[in-house]
Every structure is written in structure tokens, then in C-alpha cells.
Structure 1
Amino acid sequence: MPAKTSEPEDQSPETPHYHGHRERLRERFHGAGPDALSDYELLEMVLFAAQPRRDMKPLAKSLLKTFGSFAEVIHAPEARLKEVDGVGDVTITQLKLIAAAASRIAKGQLQRRTLLSSWNDVLDYCRTSMAFADKEQFRILFLDKRNQLISDEVQQVGTVDHTPVYPREVIKRALELSATAVILVHNHPSGDPTPSSADIQMTKAIIGIAAPLGISVHDHIIVGKNGHASMKAMKLI
């Protein structure tokens, strides 16, 4: 008996019943644009390459029902994806390729622009990179005096609800890179981006060490699948 997570073998009927459906989706995509397609239809098109001889509509709908949205599907942990009937290694590779491409594009846009004049790009990049991760990550964006990105580094990866952060290590790295400002970012896998008291205390500790050295902490952004929170906008720092 085949394993639940294995992908079905390709079948080769002379006229697959889904052939016309795929062509119609492609025509709508090219004619009306991607916004004309629903999440499950866009997901279907992503999956075409993974399973070229199978009707992908049921699998696309099953994935969306399981994870909630297109973004949550492509960022879902591999172990959970494998629990969905019909998903195997090839399909997972295709989904993770889309996730990696989205992150690479967002990072490229961030590096080409003055950071603080395109705040939406910062938020988009942070959400794309971290919002759907299943473990907490603490990321630092190091900036020069013109607020251009010098480096984007994940300093720590923790558990589902905690990441150890060492303020002196943050500032040590900023000095190594000759950064004059930083933006701190971390994610809440629970989905709720509300800062905790520990988040606020840790941020203030970093600011306390950075300020005498001429390093500004522009913000601490927390992202989750339900949105984002800016400590500066919330007047917490």
C-alpha cells in the first residue's frame, strides 16, 4: 500500500479531463493578470510543474483548507506539508522554490532603496522572510549613515515562543560592520505580533548599550501571520 505522502504516479490518458482547465487558467493569468485568479487557482498553477499529469484543483483546495492562505501554504513546515495527502518531495520543492523566490525579490528591493524612505518595503520583506516561520527568529538590519542596508542577519533562532538575545552581541556586530543604526526584527509563530514585556525590556537594554556608542535603534518590528507591530509606532521605545 503506498504511503500517504507519496505523490501519485503520472497517468497518461489520451485526453486528460483537466487539460482544458489548465489552458483556461493560463489564458486568464496572461490575459487578466494574476489578480484575476483566486488563491487556489494561483496555487494550482504553481503545482502544475510539480505534478504535470494530475488535476491539481483538489490538492490546491486541500492545502488552503489546511493552512489558510497562499502565503501560509508556501511557508508551511515541510513536515506538516507531508501530512497532506498527495504532497510529496517534488511538490514541496516547488512550494519552497516559490517561498525562496518571494524572499529573494523582497530582499533585492530592500537593498536597492534607501531603507527609511520605503518603510512598506521593510515591512513586506520582514513578513515575507519571517512571519510564517514555525520558530522564533531574531533578525537585525544593519544600516549606514544614509540608512542604506549594510547587512541583514539572523542572529538567533529559538523555540516556538522564545529566542535568546544578547544585547552586547548585537552591538558588537554593529561595530564590526561600522553600522550607525539598526532595525531589530523578530517573529511570533503564534501569529499575534503584540510585544511582550520581555521584548520591550530586551529592546531597551540594546538601546542603552547602543546610544553611548552613537548607534541608533530605529525600531523593533515584530511580525506574525496576523500582522506586525512597531515598538516605535506604539511609543514603547
Structure 2
Amino acid sequence: MPKPNSKASIAPDLPGLGEEPVAPGDPHYLGHRARLKARFLDGGPESLPDYELMELVLFRTLPRADVKPLAKQLIATFGSFADVLAAPYERLVEIKGIKDATATDFKVIEAAARRFAKGAIGKRPVLSSWSAVIDYCRTAMAFDDRERFRILFLDKKNALITDEVQQSGTIDHTPVYPREVVRRALELRATALILVHNHPSGDPTPSRADIEMTRTIVEIAKPLGIAIHDHVIVGRDGHASFRGLKLL
């Protein structure tokens, strides 16, 4: 589709994103919306700071309001665009100006991002697309406010059978039962696993408990022909690979 020649003509070509063309006497924020959409289309999402990308999301459910202050408040409260999307629904609706429809939009976008990231690892051997695995793990877990323990179950060709969250815990602890991990692998006829969990603190550095738990799973799984390819810890500040750190 050819790009519009004028900023005011953008809105009619973008159903779902906005308003009618800006006319004399219209509220000031309509002109801002048209300009912001033009910048997004011309420069892509990387051309916008987090709060402006958040404004674009808010345009849908708040079509007749200046949403810039609310967008900035959301980023200041939660930390980043990704943190806002990953925030619990209950915390989102506590923010003045965020109603059910807006919070639901955020959760739909978060789910779409996870589904997109998972699609990148679902059709080929996982170990040949390691960067996609890391992207998926970070998208799925890095911004969660509770620790969760996820397992990627692989077949003999290292293709993904399924991935499951086995345990959920608190802000700094998740109980993991190594025999349950292996039992589930046997049920799915998995021959290899990638273990994943998150650190809500943001720092992905493995703890002593993380290391000991991983070694226990390896010891139980190895005699049964189940390999542990890696244990990945994700956080807001990055990720840590046990394989890369030579802990496996």
C-alpha cells in the first residue's frame, strides 16, 4: 500500500489505529496522534521511545483523550514498555485511566508476542535456532513478577515436543522436584530437555540452589537416556546459560 502524502490522511488508511483527519478546531492531541503514526510508519518501532510506542497502543481504547501523560506514567511505574505489557492485570487497572478494555489490550499484545516468539522455535531443531530460543524464553518469562520454572521437551531430533511451566513460586523462589521433571519427560517420550526459569530481581546469575538443583536433575535423567542440553535463567538484565558458564 503506498504511503499517504500528507499526515492528515494517515488515519483513514489505518482502521483500528485512529481517528478522522485533523481539522481546524479539533483537540490538539489529534494532530500529535497523526504525527506519531507517521513517524512510526516511516521510521519503524525503533524510532520511538517506549512511552510513544505505549501511546500508539493507548490510542485504540482511549480515542478521545491526550494519552501522553498516561503513557509516561505507565513507563515510570513499571519500568519499560515490556514491563507494562507483562504487568499483572490487577496492577494495571489500579492505575488511574486504565480501564478493563485497555488492560485487556495489553494482555492480548503480550500473548501475541509470546505466540510469535514460540512460533520461531516450533518448526525446526531447537539447537539450530538458539537465539530464537533465548528470545522466546525472555519474552515468556523475563518480565514476570514471580519465579516460574519452565521446561522445553525435545524429541530425538531436538525438535520441540512442547513446553510447560512446571512450577510457579514467589518473587525469589520456585520449588522444583527433579523426579517430577524426569517423570514428565518420560510421559512425553522426550529425549532431551532445556530447563528455564526467571529471576524477577532482574539479575540472571545462577544461585547455589539453582546449580545444585540442576545437577540433581542431570543425575536422575542421564541413566534414563534423557539429556539436559542447558538450563537458562532469564531476567530483565539479560540471561545466563549453564552450558555457556560451563556449569553443565
TM-score by length of 1: 0.91
Corresponding residue for 2:104? 93
What is the aligned counterpart of 1:34 among 45, 55, 62? 45
Q: How far apart are the structure 1 equivalents of 2:92 and 2:246? A: 39
SS of the aligned residue for 2:121 comes to: helix
SS of the aligned residue for 1:125 comes to: helix
- Counterpart of 1:36, as a letter, is S
Corresponding residue for 2:35? 24
What is the aligned counterpart of 1:181 among 192, 199, 203? 192
- Note the aligned Cα RMSD (angstroms): 1.2
Question: Equivalences for 1:64-143 in 2 at 5 Å?
Answer: 64-143=75-154
SS of the aligned residue for 1:25 comes to: helix
Corresponding residue for 2:26? 15
SS of the aligned residue for 2:156 comes to: coil
The alpha carbon displacement at 1:113 in A equals 2.6
Alignment of 1:216 with 2:227, yes or no, is yes
SS of the aligned residue for 1:170 comes to: helix
The alpha carbon displacement at 1:66 in A equals 1.2
Aligned-pair identity in percent equals: 65
Q: Answer 1 or 2: higher relative contact order, Cα 8 Å, separation at least 6.
A: 1
The alpha carbon displacement at 1:85 in A equals 2.2
Corresponding residue for 1:229? 240
Q: Which stretches in structure 2 are left out of the alignment for 5+ residues?
A: 1-24
The alpha carbon displacement at 1:204 in A equals 0.5
TM-score by length of 2: 0.87
Q: How far apart are the structure 2 equivalents of 1:177 and 1:43? A: 40
What is the aligned counterpart of 1:145 among 147, 151, 156? 156
Alignment of 1:156 with 2:179, yes or no, is no
SS of the aligned residue for 2:74 comes to: helix
Q: Aligned residues, how many?
A: 224
Q: How far apart are the structure 2 equivalents of 1:99 and 1:200? A: 30
